[in-house]
Structure 1
Amino acid sequence: MPRVFITGLGFVTSIGNDAATVSRNLRELRHGFELYPPFQKPDIPVKVVGTIKEFTTDSTDPEDWTFPARYKIKRELLRSMAPNGLFAHCALLQAIEDAKLGEADISNPDTGLYAASGGSPYLTHYHHERLVKHGVMRCSPLGIVASIVGTLNFNLVAAFKILGASCGFSSACASSAHALGFAFDELSLGRQKRMFVVGAEDGNVDAILPFAGMRTLSPQADPNLASRPFDAARDGFVGTGGATVLVLETEEEVARRGVTPYAEFLGWGQASDGYNVAISHPEGSGSAAAMTQALRAARVEAGQIDYVNAHATSTLIGDISEAKALRAVFPAAAQKPYVSSTKALTGHGLSLAGAMESAFCALAMREGFIPGNAHLKQLEPQCAGINVPTETINTAPTYVMKNSSGFGGANVALVFKRVG
């Protein structure tokens, strides 16, 4: 079966909008949190967001949006985008440049695109309200494709003339990890030679605030205290948006083009909790099963994993559940990999999280470091027994696992290997 490699990355995130900035902030443990102006009201219990800098997408009219001048996007493309679509378009342009792809590499039957987002609640609300108030014929003809789940793949496949496999994934916070896993399958089964994998979210009021109703967002007003995965004092996650794109290619394409990959994608696994619509299984059984499946598929022993980029969002139940799963999969002292959650720096990107954090792993493998778990002062007692560094480790991990989990108990684990 063809081997699969990561050959390009693109970022629009709360900790940077290019690989160099993201890598530096990961290494230096610099977060991207700010007091979010729309949340500074007495009746809103959350205050902090992982904000996207250099982009302004508050208006319902894309022509009012602002973004870095280096991106040239035609007006007719912007008209059918949500904010997450703009972020994704820019991240995809970055990834194409990073992977050194030409037009013929992008638009051909052997190149596909998988994407994940929760759609745009912001634009869904706007267009529905307009329909009710002004009538159906006063609605934008592009309102549906700009707002519903699938808006990313609709827009990107059309804009970049993708001819291969395309699909949108919707498994909540496991979505873009699922997209990566199934893109791996497309390549390893010989159906495609190259896949773009995209995760993106709006990261605005409509995308984030509903989670306050679930009591899952941190109420902290201090950005340095708001996201504390595995910490005994954690009190919820911080929302964020943005986009990340990974380019996956077969070994044959890597050799043909003469490019140096970030990492090899060895395999993946998935499993379900079968427990609760919104809460992780208290023993982490589904997460442990996904990790075990991933190790088996990748043909890697638990003791070979050097680093696990945890899903840990900084919620009371979820972090403990994942810690129990990690203890079950890595029970021996000699098997304990470093574990950290980079959500302490970025916040939780929802559907974006799996892709964004997998790309962080690729950067860490190439550049030789393991990001520490920021803002951790006192380890949650029920998370004892996992190896959580509070400072960055300046050692290149060889084998890395990325965990993701979503509503309904959907769990995904991905395994990567350093190249060289």
Structure 2
Amino acid sequence: MRNVVVTGLGFITSIGNDKASVARSLRELQHGIAVYDRFEQAGERIHLAGKVKDFDVSSNDPEDWVYPERYALKREQLRSMAPHVLYAHCALVQAVEDAGLTPEEISNPETGLFTSSAGSVRLLTHHMERLKKGGLRRASPMGVVSSVTGTLSFNLVALHKILGSSGGFVSACASSGHALGYAWDEIALGRQERVIVIGAEDGDLETILPFGAMRALSPDAEPPGSRPFDKARNGFVGTGGATALVLESEACAAARNAPVYARFSGWGQASDGYNVAISHPEGDGLARAMELALRATGTAASEVEYINAHATSTPIGDTSEMKAIRKVFGAGGPALASTKALTGHGLSLASAMEAGFTVLGMKEGFTPGSAHITDLDPEGEDLNIIRETLDKGPRVAISNSSGFGGANVVTVFKSA
């Protein structure tokens, strides 16, 4: 089994659109949550979202989109995209530059691409309405490929001429965790030298508001709204954007003298087998996933210095995760925090985004704290929940993800 390392990062997020601004926000615990005008116009009880800045993708016509000039695309390239595909393209460009890769190294049989998103509900609705009102003659020929769940893979594989393995992963909020895990498998087993992993979401009304019907969203009228582990937490705040990670075999990275953020040591997964929508109340599935990840990577629980928790700020989910962590690590344990307090919950994007945050901190020497805790939930009083950023990066860290149906994924990173 070959070693796998992270050599490139790219971010389009509510807390920054490049690694420098993201690192600054994480260090200073500056959130990216704001009142979202489309929620306000809808007149519902939901008000907040983690907003991506410097992009205007509100139009259903991609030719009207406004985004940073350095990522300029041709009309024929844009017309098959959803907003999150544009975000992902921008993050991919950053990650490739960060890793020092050439176009030939990207468009190569040894380089693959794994993606995660929920598709674009807004564009799917738009194109179906056009079809129903005007028939096939008025329907867009790009309606399918710009909106369905696979749109992220379709577009990026074609745009960046990917020749290696490719595919999309759909397991709700664990999706990009699965993408990372199976990318690790591809490299560790020698099937690919390199895999780019991207998670992305539109993060708009159509993506986020339906969770309000599940009573999963915070109804707070003012930011931040997202406060994992706080006793008074009342739901999550949704967000969109994209994160890209370049994973390579350690030998491949060394051969081209590539920068290395961390070693991606491996992963584990397990299912709750409990409920379609909520976590197992005792955290059993997540505890098994953590145990399997530690076993697969030869890591003792005592070696782990940081856990980037899935904790979304829902009463049930956070409690379940705290119980799972206590089962594996006991009282005290590693520094524990949820960066969703700053970004909001990225859904399919979350795993990749938080893995990116974790290895960025490892490389640059900090451990992000868990913001917005006013009154710590008694369930977490005996855990090492850090409320301020530590001026030291962890040597061993795990990142947790959980999705609908009780899908749990845990990734393990070690300093290079």
Instruction: Tell me whether the two structures share a fold, i.e. TM-score over 0.5.
Output: yes
Q: Which residue of 2 aligns with 1:303?
A: 302
1:185 corresponds in structure 2 to: 185
**1:313–1:132 CA distance, 2 compared to 1 (3 A):** same
Query: Alpha carbons of 1:28 and 1:71: their partners in 2 closer, same or farther (altered >3 Å)?
Result: same
Residue type of the partner of 2:55? F
Deviation (angstroms), 1:283: 0.2
Question: What is the alpha-carbon distance in structure 2 between the residues aligned to residue 208 and residue 137 of structure 1?
Answer: 31
> What's the CA shift for 1:74?
1.5
The answer (yes or no) to whether the contact 2:199–2:244 under 8 Å persists in 1 is: yes
- Matched position secondary structure for 1:198: strand
Are the structure 2 counterparts of residues 350 and 42 from structure 1 closer, same or farther at C-alpha, using a change threshold of 3 Å? Answer: closer
**Structure 1: distance between partners of 2:21 and 2:43:** 35
- 2:243 maps to 244
Residue number among 379, 395, 408 corresponding to 1:398 in the alignment: 395
Q: Which amino acid aligns with 1:10?
A: G
Q: Deviation per CA, 1:172-202: give whole Å up to 9, x if none.
A: 0000000000000000000000000000000
Letter of the 1:320 counterpart: T
Matched ranges for 1:341-420 at <5 A: 341-419=338-416
Correspondences of 1:12-411 after superposition (within 5 Å): 12-41=12-41, 43-224=43-224, 226-331=225-330, 333=332, 336-411=333-408
Residue 383 of structure 1: how far off its partner (Å): 2.6
Counterparts of 1:18 and 1:304 in 2: how far apart (Å)? 30
Q: Is the 8 A contact 2:331 2:383 kept in 1?
A: no
Q: Which amino acid aligns with 2:68?
A: P
SS at match of 2:384: coil
In terms of mean alpha carbon deviation, does 40-49 or 8-17 score higher? 40-49
1:387 counterpart letter in structure 2:
N
The separation in 2 between residues aligned to 1:39 and 1:158, in whole angstroms, is 34
Separation in structure 1 between the aligned mates of residue 381 and residue 184 of structure 2, nearest angstrom: 34
The alignment yields a C-alpha RMSD, in angstroms, of: 0.8
1:11 aligned residue: 11
Gaps (5+ residues) in structure 2?
Answer: none
User: What one-letter code is carried by the residue in structure 2 that aligns with 1:409?
Assistant: G
- In structure 1, C-alpha distance between the alignment counterparts of 2:133 and 2:393, rounded to whole Å: 57
CA distance in 1, matches of 2:288, 2:128: 41
Tell me the alpha carbon deviations over residues 134-165 of structure 1, each in whole angstroms, 9 at most, x when there is no partner. Answer: 11221111110000001100000000000000
- How far apart in 1 are the matches of 2:398 and 2:101? 27
**One-letter code aligned to 2:385:** V
CA deviations on 1:24-60 (whole Å, 9 max, x unpaired) are: 0000000001111111147311111100000000001
Change over 3 Å in CA distance of 1:411–1:390 after alignment to 2: same
Preserved CA contact (<8 Å) 2:368 2:388 = yes
Note the C-alpha offset of 1:332.
5.2
What stretches of structure 1 of length at least 5 have no aligned partner? none
In structure 1, C-alpha distance between the alignment counterparts of 2:363 and 2:192, rounded to whole Å: 25
For 1:249 and 1:331, locate their aligned partners in 2 and report how far apart those are by CA, in whole Å: 34
* Equivalent-residue separation in structure 2 for 1:384 and 1:330 (angstroms): 14
Q: Distance in 2 between matches of 1:410 and 1:14?
A: 25
Name the aligned partner's letter for residue 254 of structure 2: A
Q: Is the 8 A contact 2:331 2:382 kept in 1?
A: no
Instruction: Label 1:128 to 1:42 Cα distance change in 2 as closer, same or farther (>3 A).
Output: closer
The amino acid that maps onto 1:263 is: A
Displacement after TM superposition at 1:382 (Å): 2.1
Q: Is the 8 A contact 2:227 2:233 kept in 1?
A: yes
> What CA deviation, in whole Å up to 9, does each residue of 1:69-128 have, x standing for no partner?
111212111010000000000100000100000011101111000000000000000001
Whole-Å separation in 1 of the counterparts to 2:413 and 2:209 = 34
Q: Indicate the SS of the match to 1:40.
A: helix
Look up the equivalent residue of 1:222 and give its one-letter code. Answer: E
- Give, in whole Å, the separation in 1 of the partners of 2:167 and 2:145: 14
The more displaced of 375-384 and 4-13 is: 375-384
Aligned residue identity for 1:240: T
Q: Normalising by structure 1, what TM-score?
A: 0.98
Between the two proteins, the alignment pairs up a number of residues equal to: 416
Separation of aligned partners in 2, 1:39 and 1:84 = 19
How big is each residue's C-alpha offset from its partner over 1:187-232, in whole Å with a ceiling of 9 and x where there is no partner?
00000000000000000110011011110000001103x0000000
Match for 1:351: what amino acid? S
For 2:72 and 2:216, locate their aligned partners in 1 and report how far apart those are by CA, in whole Å: 38
